[in-house]
Amino acid sequence: MADVAVIGAQWGDEGKGKLVDWLSARADVVVRFQGGHNAGHTLVIDGKVYKLSLLPSGIVRDGKVSVIGNGVVVDPWALVDEMDRLRDQSISITPVNLVIAENVPLILPLHGELDVLREAAAGDKKIGTTKRGIGPAYEDKVGRRAIRLIDLAYPSTLKEKVEKLLTHHNALRRGLGVKELNPEALVEKLKQIAPKILPYAGPAWRLVQEARKAGKRILFEGAQGVLLDVDHGTYPYVTSSNVVAGQAAAGAGLGPKALGYVLGIVKAYTTRVGEGPFPTEDESETGQLLGERGREFGTVTGRKRRCGWFDAVLVRQSLKLAGVDGIALTKLDVLDGFNELKVCIGYDLDGKQIDYFPAGMDAQASVKPVYETMPGWQGSTEGARSWADLPAEAVKYVRRIEELIECPVALVSTSPEREDVILMRDPYED
Ligand code: GDP
Ligand code: IMO
Ligand code: MG
């Protein structure tokens, strides 16, 4: 059974949402398995734009079941707002088409506040987080003091757990010089949101297991990208979860053999939002142009994304780390009209050429990209749906990338619109 996992292979925003939406036509259940509302996945369907942060991208298709797996951190207020926004766009969300793992840890207002306080205190050493409380919420999960969704159903346990959690947080808050929190007020706030979210809570792991047993197809929707992975990314400039394919199993409640095909989503150039190393970052007009043509503004925070040429070294490494079988190359159309294109094929580190991205912070900041230059194309790839529609130089660019990253290109995306995809190998058939 070929269940497909979609993983971002760079610093996020590669176009995962678009590809998950496209693939969900072939799937029955779509599962988010890590991250939280730091993610921003954009879908464009017949010109109508849907922005999803916590809801799996399958939610926009009738007849699909969307699952928020145990590996996600859920801000119940943000989720309720997102559901309201989607309902205003005529999307139906009911406990039949949305199930949230009852054991997900919750993001509370104190997590967002802590995220903001820490970033402010870090000054120019800040991470550039989305300020959504993601890191602090994962810390509490691993610290075994998180409030989980199911706790909302048990008021006396909830009170005890909130008191324990606040013993920890109030000590931190005293240290940071901010007002301590009152447990009763937090319990009250949680009791008010509980009826809006508890109807969706359930043993998500059983649902996905039973769906598999019944021969249904599961689609795993990753958030962020491998270079933001807490182990493999540009630490400490990373998010606080594992984003690689192994996490899809752990974060959904399945064994690793549930993953049939891992599809890496790769942008035809590179972007990053937030701080941290970025070897091919281009602060000249070229980077500006990539940003303008690719409309590179964050879906979640509206921040301008940093832009640069394609980095084959980073992507090759990411694909291996994530266990990717094939990629979807996105935003090829953004490269239309450039006279020449550069691709990073190695790094210079203190005068030595290396073919991988080193782990040390200093080395990551000081590697200099070694470029190969390729001719660009003047024709348009925008909206292309077949290989035959691509200019010869665009075909060469895709083939060269395929060679450098040591991984086949399964799909190419040529516009934000749902159906503007060139299919070369079907991940569900491969
Ligand atoms: P995600 O976080 O990986 O889902 O990606 P985002 O939605 O944050 O950012 C990708 C942006 O590029 C969105 O605005 C998409 O609508 C858009 N997009 C996706 N694929 C393509 C493509 O092939 N061409 C162009 N021009 N835009 C695309
Ligand atoms: P999608 O799923 C791009 C980045 C933030 C920051 C770092 C840590 O849309 O690709 P966090 O708030 O997670 O603690 O921030 O990670 N980041 C993303 N960048 N796309 C995302 O998600 C991101 N989610 C987090 O900008 O650098
Ligand atoms: Mg995004």
pLDDT of res. 301: 80
How many Cα atoms occupy the beta-carbon half-sphere of 391 within 13 Å? Answer: 17
Q: What tens digit of pLDDT does each residue of 330-355 get?
A: 999 999 999 999 999 999 999 999 99
Region 66-70: mean pLDDT is 98
CA of 395 to the centre of ligand 1 (A): 21
Region 229-241: mean pLDDT is 98
pLDDT at 299 over 90: no
Q: What tens digit of pLDDT does each residue of 189-225 get?
A: 999 999 999 999 999 999 999 999 999 999 999 999 9
In what helix (H) or strand (E) does residue 242 lie, and over which residues does it extend?
none
Region 137-159: mean pLDDT is 97
13 classed as catalytic: yes
pLDDT of res. 244: 97
Question: Which of 34, 44, 297, 331 maximizes ligand 1 atoms within 8 Å of its Cβ, making it the mutation to test the pocket?
Answer: 331
Instruction: Give the type of residue at 256.
Output: P
Domains of the chain as residue ranges with CATH: 3-99+201-258 (3.40.440.10), 109-197 (1.10.300.10)
Question: Which of 42, 48, 336 maximizes ligand 1 atoms within 8 Å of its Cβ, making it the mutation to test the pocket?
Answer: 42
- Identify the CA nearest to 388 among candidates 424, 426, 343, 416: 424
User: pTM to 2 decimals?
Assistant: 0.97
pLDDT of res. 1: 54
Instruction: Give the type of residue at 85.
Output: R
The set of long-range contacts for 155-158, using a CB threshold of 8 Å and a minimum separation of 24, is: 155/187, 155/191, 158/187, 158/190, 158/191
pLDDT of res. 429: 85
Q: What tens digit of pLDDT does each residue of 108-140 get?
A: 999 999 999 999 999 999 999 999 999 999 999
Q: What tens digit of pLDDT does each residue of 368-426 get?
A: 999 999 999 999 999 999 999 999 999 999 999 999 999 999 999 999 999 999 999 99
pLDDT at 160 over 70: yes
